[in-house]
Chains A and B, each alone.
Chain A
Amino acid sequence: MNVIFTAVFIASMVAIAISAPDKLLSSLLGGAESAAKMSLTLFCIYAVWMGLSKLAEKSGLSKQMARGLKPITRRVFKTDDETANENLAMNVSCNLLGLGGAATPFAVKAIGELEKQGNSFAQKLLFVINATSIQILPTTVIALRAGAGSAAAADIFLPSLICTAVSTGLAVALYLAGNKLWR
């Protein structure tokens, strides 16, 4: 991340110094402003979902769900830690339901738990799965198409499912292969 960030930043700054030097500061400020707006939006999403997930956690609901999914999460992510498994199970369930905003806090918690055990394999695997999108129902896109007057807004369901499966499957395969080669 450090390398990419520095490279893109320096290249862009040089290019902007040549083409439009007066825009450098304004675009940086604009970026920071959209980050501030974005974090407000994110806070709203997280407030709703983390409030709800706290209820699920305290009432023991998420523990029960995790117990159901534990055979899978334990094998896939190679961890025995109860809290980590609970968060992993919730993350995967939210993703499958297309609740991307709800899935993120669980992933971050799971990564924190996995950090305590030094399980960087599982951390990165979780990232790979989440970063390739495993949602079954692309709700945002369908809503957008319906709004634009599409005759059959949901007809992208099957193509989306195929592509999601391809990207997640391939990414996990590449990651596992890369993981073996690296060591």
Chain B
Amino acid sequence: MALIIPVIFIFVFAFAVIKKVAVYDCFTEGIKEAFNFTVSLLPCLAAIFMMCALFEASGLSDGLTKLLSPVFGFLGIPPELTKLVLIKPFSGSGSLAYLNEIITAYGADSYIARCACVCFGSSETVFYISAVYFAGIKVKKLAMPIACVLVATFVSTIVACLVCKIM
């Protein structure tokens, strides 16, 4: 599986050489686009990260975690995972740090850690993606699609906790 990346790179470069593309010029042009793209993202990222930092520092996120743990427990989601499930839609790096904590605390092969890994691997940072994808679009109306994604992600979390018990 580790070979996928080298194979893709070599294949694309070789193909470009065969087609007589000016590889250096072209590669740099792509990076220039990447630069402009990153700069255009920065305002959205800054605003969202500020919101997340504030939410975390205000203690609201801990309060919400405590409030929701029993509900999650009822649905078969271990209370240890509540915070991970709540953070994931907002912050990839934040939830990755938290996932790491869970793995170290409970051991990589424990039920909790495996559950956490499956939840993490099968969900995405919904709000971050919505900000990035629609950064340049004026009319958004994203409430409905975001709601669909969040509901589906939550259901798949419940499924993850079930499946990990069996497998």
Contact = CB atoms under 8 A, between A and B. Distances in A.
Interface string A118-142: 0010011011101111010111110
A141 B53 contact: no
A164 B67 CA distance: 27
Interface of B: 1, 4-5, 8-9, 12-13, 15-16, 18-19, 21, 23, 26-31, 33-35, 37-39, 41-42, 45-60, 93, 96, 99-100, 103-104, 107-109, 113-114, 117-124, 126-127, 129-137, 139-149, 151-153, 155-157, 159-160, 163-164, 167
Contacts of B29: 54
7 contacts: A24-B54, A56-B16, A58-B26, A127-B149, A131-B124, A140-B121, A178-B144
Given A39-B38, A46-B38, A107-B133, 4 more contacts: A38-B49, A56-B15, A112-B136, A159-B114
Q: Is the contact region of chain A dominated by helix, strand, or loop, or is it mixed?
A: helix
A35 B42 contact: yes
Nearest to B119: A163
Interface residues of A, number: 95
A133 B103 contact: no
Interface stretch (A7-15, A66-74, A78-86): A7-15
A76 interface: no
A59 B19 contact: yes
Nearest to B136: A112
3 nearest interchain CB pairs?
A54-B30, A138-B121, A31-B53
